[in-house]
Amino acid sequence: MIDSLRAWVQQHALLVLIAIGIVVAGVAAVQLPKLNRVDRMSATAYYTTDDGATFFQAPVQTPPFKTKDGKEAVAAVLFARGDGSPAFVGYLIRCRADARAAEDRQRQTGAVEGVAGGAPRMVVGMQVKRPGAGEWVDGDTPEGMAIKDVRLPDGRIPVPIIPE
């Protein structure tokens, strides 16, 4: 049976190539819009100026930054409960002042300084806190990891909301 299949494929090589091309084009047609969606998602993020009470979507910037009305904005990581209720801010993110200064110098000079293994500055200098309470802590400490481990009151893990 395999020999007869091989013989058929050899006799109809052009037809097989056309069929493979159609399949590849179909897969590309389905997958490319998903890739474009990822590009759009990475262009914006959620931010808050009132410690997570409200949030807004804007182009990606390194927080904290000043808004047009002079308020300091930090990143807000949103979650859904999965029951149709409104989204909520699980935790806030900002860049430490020293990491921000190094990032600014890097933008000006193009030189990367003090980044182990080429890790992005926002990962190295990231601080987190819960909305409405607590102090800012480094995101890579046990305290920071606990803040980023967002849970619902019943212990379930909420669904992260990615900006579109």
**Residues near 44 by Cβ (< 8 Å), separated by ≥ 6?**
57, 58, 59, 60, 163, 164
Mean pLDDT within 51-57: 95
Residues 50 and 90 in one domain: yes
**Residues near 153 by Cβ (< 8 Å), separated by ≥ 6?**
none
Mean pLDDT within 99-111: 73
Residues 50 and 30 in one domain: no
Residues 35 and 51 in one domain: no
Confidence band for 116, pLDDT divided at 50, 70 and 90 = very low
Q: How many domains does the chain have?
A: 2
Residues 111 and 141 in one domain: yes
pLDDT given for residue 100 in this prediction: 77
pLDDT given for residue 120 in this prediction: 44
pLDDT given for residue 17 in this prediction: 57
pLDDT in tens, 42-51: 589 999 999 9
Residues 22 and 94 in one domain: no
